[in-house]
Amino acid sequence: MLIGISPLISPDLLAVLHRMGHGDEIVLADAHFPGETYGQRVLRADGLKIADLLDAILPLFVLDTYVESPLIMMAVVAGDQLDPAVEVSYRLTIDKYWPNTPPIQRINRFDFYDRAKQAFAVLMTSETAKYGNIILKKGVTPIIDNEGIWPISNIHE
């Protein structure tokens, strides 16, 4: 345990978040996602839901401000149904930490799989909502000033 870091963040996840560079992506994958098939580095967060993990990760993780959208989710497959409450719950947490983040981009299933193959890591969760996967693209972590304060206002918007 560490002060200021959620107990939902495992030591392995903390190490991965730290080792990621700007532009690297992490997939927060639902329980249905074929993470072992597509992920080059797979972590487990069994028993945890993605919205809770977003609330634990986003205080530590700057989203990329130099791309159209640093947040990617899978688009619904024709003939299937999407529960809009999933994205709404994610967005509430995202906006809590990074309120100026652009809308979540939706891409088709196979493009999402290709993106997961290139991701720095895939974090397998116990999320059971269909289309619950989300990709986070890391931005440039701000430098802490002499008072130990992040100059959030200086982050590129």
CA neighbor of 137 nearest in space, from 59, 6, 28: 28
Burial bucket for residue 144 (CB in 10 Å: 0-12, 13-18, 19+): exposed
CA–CA separation, 154 and 142 (whole Å):
8
- Token output for 141: 């972590």
The whole-angstrom distance between residue 25's C-alpha and the CA centroid of its chain comes to 8
- Name the catalytic one among 18, 22, 32, 156: 22
* Environment class of 75 (CB within 10 Å of its CB; exposed 0-12, middle 13-18, buried 19+): middle
Q: How many CB atoms lie within 10 A of CB 110?
A: 9
**Catalytic: 22?**
yes
Give me the active site residues, please.
22
